[in-house]
Amino acid sequence: MDSNNGLPLVASRLTPALDPAFRPAVLANRVFRELVRSSGKAVPIGLALEQSEGIVSHFRIEVLPETHSNAAANAIYIERISKFLLWSRGGSRIHFQGPLALADKLAEHYRDTPTGKFDSNLVGERMFDHPIEVVHTNELPAERTSAAALGRHLEGCRIGFDLGGSDRKAAAVVDGKVVFSEETGWDPYFQPDPTYHYDGVMDSLRKAAAYLPRVDAIGGSAAGIYLNNRVRVASLFRGVAPDVFNAKVRDMFLRIKQAWNNVPFEVLNDGEVTALAGSMALGRNRLLGISLGTSTAGGYVNAEGNITSWINELAFVPVDYNPAAATDEWSGDYGCGVQYFSQQAVGRLLKAAEIELESELPLAEKLKEVQNLMHKGDARARRIYETIGTYLGYGVAHFAEFYDLENVLILGRVTSGPGGDVIIAGAKEVLEREFPELADKISFHIPDEKQKRHGQAVAAASLPVLRPVATG
C-alpha cells in the first residue's frame, strides 16, 4: 500500500469519503522528486514524443542514480509519466535521453506487458500507424508544433455539426450567429453498415445548408480520434468490422468533404471542440475541458487560444498510483482517469456508499438513481459526489504538471444537478488545502445554458480557415 514497485505512495491529506486507499499520482510524483533532489545526484531524463507527421513535444524529468537504495522506483516512475504523456499528447515514437538500461526497460514494457501492448496498439498503431518505438538518443529531436491554428474563424456562411452516441446536431452559422440548429436522434454504436453513419451526417448537413445562401465551410466534432479528417479510433463505429472500417470509415469525412465541393472542412475530437467553445465563451485560454460522461473526454486550448495536435484522452491517463486501484476494463490498467471521472466512477462507488441497485442496470440508469437520491438529500449519494470532487482536485493538480493550466471547464452528465456543485466545491477545497499555489492560479467553470445549446456548434463551425478570395 505504501509503495508501488519501490515508488513511495502518499495518502492524501483530504481522504476521499468512499476511497481511503486512493493514492494520488501528483503526491507520489512530488515525493519522488524530493527524494531525487535530496540524493544530490539527480539523473536527467529527456522524453520526446513524436507523431507521424514529425510533430514533437518534449518533457523532462529526473530520476535517482542507479546506486541509490530506491533506484528500483525509477522504472515505474518513468512508465507512469510516459503513459500520461502518451495518452495526453499522442505519438508512436518516444525518444529517450538518459541511461540505456532505463530506455530498454520502457521499451520492454510496451513490447511485452499486456497494458503496454494495449497502449502501443491503440495509440501507436491505430492512431499513428506504427507500434510504440522507444529510441535511445544522446540528443532529443527539436520540438515542432502543428502549424495550423484551428477555430475562432466566424466569417462567412458555415455549418457546424456534433456527432454523439444518441443524437447528432447541426447548425447553420452566419458570421458567428446561429440561424438554424437541429438535434436528431440516431443509434450509431452498433450499426455494422457505415452507410448509416454517412447518410445521417449528410442528412444533417443538408438541413442546415437549406438555411444558408451558400456553404463556405463545414466543421464538426465527434467522439474519437480524428487526424487530418481521417477517423483513427471512434466509438461511433464500434459495430463496424475492421476490414469495413478501413475500407469505408477511415476516409468517410474526406468523401463528405468531396460531396460538398471540397469546401474547407475540419472534424475534431468532441473534447477539443468543447474546450474551444468554453474558451470562446469565457474569453480565456490555457483551458482544460473535462467531461464526466459515459467515459472521460478532454480537450485543451493553449496560451495562444489554439487547439493543438495533442489527443487529450484523459480516460486513460493514470491518476491513482495504488497498484490495487480500480482497473479499467478495456486497457486492463489500474488507476486510470475513467474510473474516477465518469459514470463508471459513480457505478464503482455505489457499494462503498451502501446504495443497492440492480447489477444489470446500465451505468446511465444507475447515475439517474444517484441523482434522484441527491435531489432528495440522501447523504449516501452526496458522499459519492464528495469522493469524485476529491478525486478531481488531486487530478487537476496532477494535470497542472503536464499542461500550462489556468482554467478548468467541467461538464458532462455526472456534473448535472446539485451533485455537480458538490464535485467542484470538493475540487476547490483540495487545491486550497493541499495546493494553495494552484488555488490562486486555477479557476473552475461550468457551461451556461446558451453555451450548452449553441456553443459547441459555433465552435465546430469556426474550425476551418476560409480560402483566400482570388483577385485580379
Q: For residue 451, what is the domain's CATH number?
A: 3.30.420.40
Residues 128 and 247 in one domain: no
Q: Residue 381: pLDDT above 50?
A: yes
Domain edge (last residue) among 107, 136, 165:
136
Residues 314 and 385 in one domain: yes
The number of distinct structural domains making up the chain is: 2
Domain edge (last residue) among 111, 136, 161:
136
Query: Across residues 424-444, what is the average pLDDT?
Result: 97
Residue 26 forms part of a structural domain: no
The string of pLDDT tens digits covering residues 173-207 is 999 999 999 989 899 988 999 999 999 999 999 99
Query: Across residues 149-171, what is the average pLDDT?
Result: 89
Domain edge (last residue) among 105, 136, 167:
136
Query: Across residues 114-136, what is the average pLDDT?
Result: 96
Closest to 218 measured CA to CA, from 205, 207, 227, 231: 205
Q: Residue 470: pLDDT above 70?
A: no
The string of pLDDT tens digits covering residues 285-319 is 999 999 898 889 899 999 999 888 899 999 999 99
Q: Residue 214: pLDDT above 70?
A: yes
The DSSP 8-state label assigned to residue 141 in this structure reads P
Query: Contact, 447 vs 412, CB < 8 A?
Result: no
The string of pLDDT tens digits covering residues 261-272 is 999 999 998 889
Q: Bin 388: left if φ > 0, else alpha if -120 < ψ < 50, else beta.
A: alpha
pLDDT of the residue at 147 = 53
Residues 174 and 255 in one domain: yes
Q: Give 471's contacts (C-beta < 8 A, 6+ positions apart).
A: none
pLDDT of the residue at 230 = 93
Residue 96 forms part of a structural domain: yes
Closest to 132 measured CA to CA, from 156, 149, 109, 110: 110
pLDDT of the residue at 259 = 98
Residues 90 and 169 in one domain: no
Query: Where does residue 165 rank: exposed (0-12), middle (13-18), buried (19+ CB within 10 A)?
Result: middle
Q: Residue 223: pLDDT above 50?
A: yes
Q: Residue 373: pLDDT above 60?
A: yes
Residues 324 and 368 in one domain: yes
> Torsion over CA of 433, 436, 440 and 446, rounded to 10 degrees?
-40
214: its cell numbers: 451558400
Residues 113 and 217 in one domain: no
What share of the chain in percent tops pLDDT 90? 82
pLDDT of the residue at 472 = 44
What pTM value is reported for the model?
Answer: 0.91
pLDDT of the residue at 314 = 95
Q: Residue 471: pLDDT above 60?
A: no
Q: Residue 106: pLDDT above 70?
A: yes
Q: Residue 395: pLDDT above 50?
A: yes
Residue 154 forms part of a structural domain: yes
Residue 16 forms part of a structural domain: no
Residue 17 forms part of a structural domain: no
Residue 441 forms part of a structural domain: yes
Domain range enclosing 360: 150-472
Closest to 302 measured CA to CA, from 289, 313, 286: 286
Q: Residue 50: pLDDT above 60?
A: yes
pLDDT of the residue at 453 = 60
Residue 15 forms part of a structural domain: no
Angle between helices 379-399 and 25-39 (to 10 degrees): 40
Residues 93 and 230 in one domain: no
pLDDT of the residue at 377 = 96
pLDDT of the residue at 254 = 98
Residues 119 and 157 in one domain: no
Average pLDDT, the chain: 93
Residues 104 and 225 in one domain: no
Residues 124 and 167 in one domain: no
Residue 424 forms part of a structural domain: yes
Residues 109 and 193 in one domain: no
pLDDT of the residue at 302 = 94
Residues 326 and 411 in one domain: yes
423: its cell numbers: 464535485
Give backbone dihedrals phi and psi of 45, rounded to 5 degrees, phi first. Answer: -125, 130
